[in-house]
A and B are shown apart, each in its own frame.
Chain A
């Protein structure tokens, strides 16, 4: 490898020897094409014409009035397939094509990354296999249908906790067995180097656009930026353009039934250093180092690890990480729907819920706040209705 893929002490390449040549090949292709004008021209074309970029930075006037702050929403929820995931799938899908790979594999929890990969696979004419835990398949049948109708094959994973973490394990095993013709399209800033760096690169367009847009609208940088953190790709995407600036960066984790319980996905708030899925980062684990299951009402935040750069940003104090419980997130889901007519994904609803808490603190009155609205809530309608006691 040319680089060690470390963010401070976090990150790295903790993988079986069999994967090293594949990671070396991927790193060198990424370094070659990330600043390649032909590659970027093609990627930008798809980002605009296929995905729908740039996304607006919307001034949420009703909530701003209600909360006494200036609140902006970065509308990644408007992208094709319903979330920011498509930025990364387009980037990696195209890179795989440039590398001469003929097959894409991906993991998915709730199905959003699987759907984005299936869409890109269909568009680029590459077969796609998506690994998905049997628990998640049961919870997200419609998303399975959506992947399959785009031509992807959904492979059930019945091992371990039967959720996202095990889907990643299984996708890695597939990749180990098929590295010659297959690209493993990881959906978040997790995994061994070069994934955390590469996924951040493809998601950093969120931050770049946001910075330009807020400067146009306000003539100055915001006071604070908030985003939900599961694996951490939408948050690192929007944070990336502001890391050197005097802007508060806040990541919001899935607090589940509360941080004093065992049922949460708050890896940065409650996890400890450990190695999972190829990198050193914060991990939810027992004292021996066995990985625990995470819990969150939103499947996208239901992961016991987190991208290594977030662990680094926390350690150096550059970003702050907080947690929002399941009921609070549901309140955020209702709040944005009611006041702005925008139904957020339950993941993004965590960031909305924290934004309300933040805005209500007297010391934050009048501040300019940007929330990364990473996904739309259509996928969560049935679950939200059920949780709110509405029959569907």
Chain B
């Protein structure tokens, strides 16, 4: 199992940035989502961000909400999510990060959740609705079980706050490129590029940019601004949503898309 540090070091040598696609477990169904995860890895993903579906995902736009709804309708439980991760870990040594809403962790018991994550070979956990102010218990568990705690940094996060977040965060800094919820967007704003520079100067970890990254040109732009990688979610889930009745096509399209996006991470 590779650490994020090892992944970023390897990529640096190859003059590449990291591509970290995001999917929701159980979307469109358990087995297909596992095949999608494997397809992503086979076609160039350097790491995976895996979402546990939640009934009330307030940080997510329509695309990911619908993915969560599909997964929950398919009967996905937290236990099944861990089974998914164990099977995925057998297939790949790439870093795996979780995206979870706090209530799912709270109900399982914070310690137990992190212990199960460690046993499943998870590298990191990002809790969408848990700012550092409320994260004492999660941070304790993350240290105990050797799991990186990822925190989001937003354009409105002040430098003072960024330093506070830096103190607690490990793995990488997750930059939200725009003020808003997740979802594909047409372009990368100029303000995002200056924001990336600000975090590179004031933070301490590699910088991954997410929210709205949906085209190879987006990846090129953020890398040029200094980002160490991109997280791509809604664009992949859009492919799933458009081809719900055709599993083969989902896998084919995702393979093509991943190759194109990975190519854009190569620094010229």
Contact = CB atoms under 8 A, between A and B. Distances in A.
A13 B156 contact: no
Interface in A222-238: none
Contact of A14 (B78, B104, B130, B161): B130
Given A176-B181, A276-B103, A13 B133 contact: yes
A283 B66 CA distance: 23
B12 to A, nearest CB: 27
A290 B55 contact: yes
B84 interface: no
Overall SS of chain A's interface: mixed
A285 interface: yes
Interface stretch (A15-23, A57-65, A204-212, A260-268): A15-23
A273 B157 CA distance: 30
Interface in A120-163: 159-160
Given A12-B134, A15-B129, A275 B179 contact: no
Nearest to A16: B59
Contacts of A67: none
A291 B77 contact: no
A173 B61 contact: yes
B156 A179 contact: yes
B156 A21 contact: yes
A13 B56 contact: no
Contacts of A165: 56
A169 interface: yes
B129 A16 contact: yes
Interface string B179-197: 1110000000000000000
Interface residues of A, number: 37
Contacts, number: 117
A24 to B, nearest CB: 9
A4 B161 CA distance: 16
A190 interface: no
A172 B156 CA distance: 16
Nearest to B180: A177
A274 B181 contact: no
Interface string B192-222: 0000000000000000000000000000000
B235 interface: no
A16 B58 contact: yes
A379 interface: no
Given A278-B129, A288-B78, A17 B134 contact: no
Which one of A173, A178, A179 has the greatest number of beta carbons of chain B within 10 Å? Answer: A173
Given A177-B181, A273-B106, 12 more contacts: A16-B58, A16-B152, A17-B152, A18-B156, A21-B154, A159-B62, A160-B56, A179-B179, A276-B56, A287-B107, A289-B106, A289-B108
6 contacts: A16-B59, A17-B153, A21-B156, A21-B157, A22-B156, A275-B103
Instruction: List 3 A-B pairs, minimum CB-CB distance, nearest first.
Output: A289-B107, A177-B180, A289-B103
